[in-house]
């Protein structure tokens, strides 16, 4: 069985409606996704949501070619994103920006049918991370060093907004894929960049345990980490999956 706890919050001082990360999950179906919409682009929250909801609602077969899987996700998510925005009623300055499209990171995890150990595939574009805890071991993907999260991440582009729209095909960017196996007692964590960086930076003290211990007052726990400067003030999203 996969037991799931999900945590998310907007940047400190921001409203829930300004949260630009996104997540979607189907614990029974073994499908999970997180995305981090780029603040610099317009409607990146809608784009991030389109990516995660498309992936969880319609995941590619596990044996489908990785790049083709992402291409299918991109095509479907672009249609969803484009349909959700009322392009022609935007004010002039918003139109100027919206035509440039939206950007987001993406990390999707699919866990195979319940046999022990279970197979999984994780596809990622950008700097959201997957952590695999197994006994005393912790593996992280795609980064193992927190300093690797200091750079501008690779992003999924929605393609142009109105008036160019969906007329031009968009190729997926470079992606990274990990195949693995999980057994009973393991934990998987999907996390966007700020909390990933904090966990990698403090991995010697097993910070994921502190997060779970503070699950009931998660918002103030993370808020304190941010105000003390230990964690970057960013949208925070994490999905903890326990295997039993």
Contact residues for other proteins, defined by CB under 8 A: 11, 13, 17-18, 39-40, 42-46, 91-97, 99-100, 157, 159-160, 163-164, 168, 170-171, 233
Q: Could you tell me the smallest distance in angstroms from the CB atom of residue 212 to other proteins?
A: 29
Which residue number, 163 or 185, has a Cβ lying nearer to other proteins?
163
Which residue number, 105 or 140, has a Cβ lying nearer to other proteins?
105
CB 172 within 8 A of CB 124: no
Q: Could you tell me the smallest distance in angstroms from the CB atom of residue 216 to other proteins?
A: 29
Residue whose C-alpha is closest to residue 217's, from 78, 52, 9: 9
The tokens describing 57, both together, are 């609602």
| Count of beta carbons in the 10 Å neighbourhood of residue 71 | 17
Q: Could you tell me the smallest distance in angstroms from the CB atom of residue 28 to other proteins?
A: 32
Which residue number, 134 or 233, has a Cβ lying nearer to other proteins?
233
Looking at the DSSP bridge assignments, the partners of residue 34 are 23, 107
Which residue number, 103 or 208, has a Cβ lying nearer to other proteins?
103
The tokens describing 85, both together, are 């925005």
Q: Could you tell me the smallest distance in angstroms from the CB atom of residue 206 to other proteins?
A: 30
Cα 34 to Cα 52: distance, rounded to the nearest angstrom: 6
The tokens describing 229, both together, are 């400067």
**87, burial (CB in 10 Å: exposed 0-12, middle 13-18, buried 19+):** middle
């Amino acid at each position: 069985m996969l037991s799931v706890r999900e945590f998310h919050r907007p940047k400190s001082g921001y409203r829930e409606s300004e949260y630009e990360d996104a997540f979607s999950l189907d614990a029974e179906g073994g499908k999970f996704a997180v995305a981090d919409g780029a603040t610099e682009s317009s409607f990146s929250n809608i784009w991030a949501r389109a990516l995660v909801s498309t992936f969880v609602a319609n995941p590619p077969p596990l044996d489908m070619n990785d790049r083709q899987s992402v291409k299918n996700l991109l095509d479907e998510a672009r249609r969803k994103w484009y349909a959700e925005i009322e392009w022609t009623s935007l004010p002039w300055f918003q139109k100027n920006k919206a035509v440039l499209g939206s950007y987001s990171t993406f990390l999707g995890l699919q866990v195979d049918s319940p046999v022990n150990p279970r197979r999984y595939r994780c596809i990622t574009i950008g700097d959201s991370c997957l952590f695999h805890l197994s006994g005393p071991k912790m593996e992280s993907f795609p980064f193992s060093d927190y300093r690797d999260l200091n750079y501008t991440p690779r992003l999924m582009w929605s393609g142009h907004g109105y008036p160019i729209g969906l007329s031009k095909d968009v190729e997926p960017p470079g992606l990274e894929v990990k195949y693995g196996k999980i057994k009973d007692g393991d934990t998987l964590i999907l996390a966007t960049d700020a909390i990933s960086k904090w966990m990698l930076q403090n991995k010697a003290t097993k910070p994921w345990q502190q997060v779970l211990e503070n699950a009931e007052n998660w918002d103030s726990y993370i808020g304190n980490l941010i105000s003390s400067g230990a964690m970057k003030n960013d949208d925070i999203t994490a999905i903890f999956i326990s295997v039993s």
